[in-house]
Structure 1
Amino acid sequence: MEIKWFGHSCFQIKTKEGTIVTDPYSAEVGWSLPRLTADVLTISHDHFDHNAKGLVDAQRVFESPGEYEASGMAITGVLGSHDEVGGAKRGKITMFKFLAEGTTVLHLGDLGSQLSDVQLDEIGSVDIVLVPVGGNYTLDAKGAVEVVNTLEPKVVIPMHYKLPGLNIDIKGVDEFIGEIGLTPERAEKLLLSRSSLPEEGMRLIILSKSG
């Protein structure tokens, strides 16, 4: 499995079964996303920095909660909130969990609250978590760490944080790194297999922005 990050909440996940792209953004964010191809495209919610479907040549597009199967991959969409008041401020989102190569990846979208017992039951066990950490519109550093510790993944990759050129008012990743208390591993992309996942503990991966 290969995971590349194009900034914000947009990832390209290449697996033996197929390729997934998550939350492509429009140029309004301050960056230009390269044209991508995917077997599966997921959109967590209908905001300009997550819903640029026209930039991805995708076979299947998923935008709502439910259980799906595409290209041999199992996909579960779980309803979540963009804020801490049940979506009253910024609406609802869909968190997507992917099962490929015997490994589970959870993309939390613009999650703005802690996870309920019902959501945790729907999500189940997770190997890799892609978590927003920049605050303001999503979980902040402390909230993100609480969610990660609840999920207990083997690998955590932060997303949705400030980088040069991004014109959205959110914080950088350093506060999250300090809060989670793990030594970060920095990489251009993450290559892993089921057998390479840590048996104990958790890895913190800081990906460089691609594209």
Structure 2
Amino acid sequence: MHRFKAFILVAAAFLLASPASAQESQRPFSQCLAVAQSLPGVTYANLTPEDLDLKPDPAAAGTGEVEISFAGHSTYVITTPGGITIATDYNGWAGNVAVPDVVTMNKAHSSHFTLSPDERIGHVLRGWNFDGTPADHDVVVDDVYIRNVTTDIRNFGAMEPDGNSIFIFEVADLCIGHLGHLHHPLEDRHFAQIGRLDIVMVPVDGGLTLSHTAMTGIAQRLQSSILLPMHRRGAPLSSFIEMMGDKFATDFVNDTGFTISARTLPRQPTILVLRGV
């Protein structure tokens, strides 16, 4: 039996009673959002079907398969069941990437963005705003909902607020996250804004972003079913895998991509290393 996750938000009344801006009230429903346990009066539970002695309903466990392939550096290409293609940390030149429908970018280095994206790209989502305000994306493209959570970024030694974005892609009952060029440990508020991630793309360079100690701490707390390494420079990948511990299996795949659905998530959290990573 594959692992399924359910989130119970005992604080629903608290959320409904909270004031919301007009923009927030128009945002699509997020199946991946959860409330952090540290918030006052809130209980956060992550329950599996085994905990509840329930069998998952196959009809409710996903609406198709998602394809994910590695295109180079921090760029993964996600193809939704509806045929929408998304390229993460898109730079316009790295990897064998056709013109995607959606691209996300972060500005740490030129290998993570382009200022002249192909005009045929329908949605260009930058993880920062040029005026220094936080980027705020809530975009629905066919069968995928895309949102972001901003983090700070190093800029000539100082920390620039909201210069990086963690992007979350909600599709086919899956919650897929890309941590971007993360430069600091996440706080409880970040985890609350991110919510559940079934699949997470994690930089494993060991220093250009975060140390392996800090990054494995984040990955262990997220407890995603599939962890996809990226940004592999510096420290060896074996160091990151070893620090993740025995609770995470490791699968080296002799292919640049794979398909996944909510029904086929691995029961044991797995570090999936695709060819070329």
In which range does the TM-score fall when normalised by the shorter chain?
0.7 to 0.9
Given the alignment of the two structures, is residue 15 of structure 1 paired with residue 86 of structure 2, yes or no? Answer: no
Residue by residue, what CA displacement relative to the aligned partner does 1:20-44 show, whole Å, maximum 9, x if unpaired?
A: 10112466xxxx5334221111112
Residue by residue, what CA displacement relative to the aligned partner does 1:131-170 show, whole Å, maximum 9, x if unpaired?
A: 11102220222211100111111110111113xxxxxxx3
Q: 2:218 aligns with which of 117, 141, 147?
A: 147
Matching residue of 1:172: 236
Distance 2:237 2:73 in 1: 11
Identity of matched residues, %: 26
Indicate the SS of the match to 1:6. Answer: strand
C-alpha change, 1:58 and 1:172, in structure 2 (3 Å) is farther
TM-score (norm 2): 0.64
Q: Unmatched 5+ residue regions in structure 1?
A: 163-169
C-alpha change, 1:88 and 1:190, in structure 2 (3 Å) is same
C-alpha change, 1:100 and 1:67, in structure 2 (3 Å) is same
Q: 1:192 aligns with which of 248, 260, 277?
A: 260
Residue by residue, what CA displacement relative to the aligned partner does 1:68-106 show, whole Å, maximum 9, x if unpaired?
A: 2122311111101235xx961797201100001111100
Distance 1:54 1:71 in 2: 25
Given the alignment of the two structures, is residue 33 of structure 1 paired with residue 95 of structure 2, yes or no? Answer: yes
Given the alignment of the two structures, is residue 5 of structure 1 paired with residue 70 of structure 2, yes or no? Answer: yes
CA RMSD of aligned residues (A): 2.4
Indicate the SS of the match to 1:88. Answer: strand
Larger radius of gyration: 2
TM-score (norm 1): 0.83
Distance 1:26 1:196 in 2: 32
Indicate the SS of the match to 2:228. Answer: strand
Q: Is the Cα–Cα contact under 8 Å of residues 126 and 153 in structure 1 kept in the other structure?
A: yes
Deviation at 1:11, TM superposition (A): 0.7
Given the alignment of the two structures, is residue 43 of structure 1 paired with residue 105 of structure 2, yes or no? Answer: yes
One-letter identity of the residue aligned with 1:177: I
Given the alignment of the two structures, is residue 123 of structure 1 paired with residue 194 of structure 2, yes or no? Answer: yes
C-alpha change, 1:142 and 1:190, in structure 2 (3 Å) is farther
One-letter identity of the residue aligned with 1:72: D
Q: Is the Cα–Cα contact under 8 Å of residues 22 and 41 in structure 1 kept in the other structure?
A: yes
Q: 1:61 aligns with which of 108, 113, 124?
A: 124
C-alpha change, 1:149 and 1:39, in structure 2 (3 Å) is same
One-letter identity of the residue aligned with 1:141: H
Given the alignment of the two structures, is residue 203 of structure 1 paired with residue 274 of structure 2, yes or no? Answer: no
Q: Point out the more displaced range, 181-190 or 89-98.
A: 89-98
Q: Is the Cα–Cα contact under 8 Å of residues 42 and 61 in structure 1 kept in the other structure?
A: yes
Indicate the SS of the match to 1:58. Answer: coil
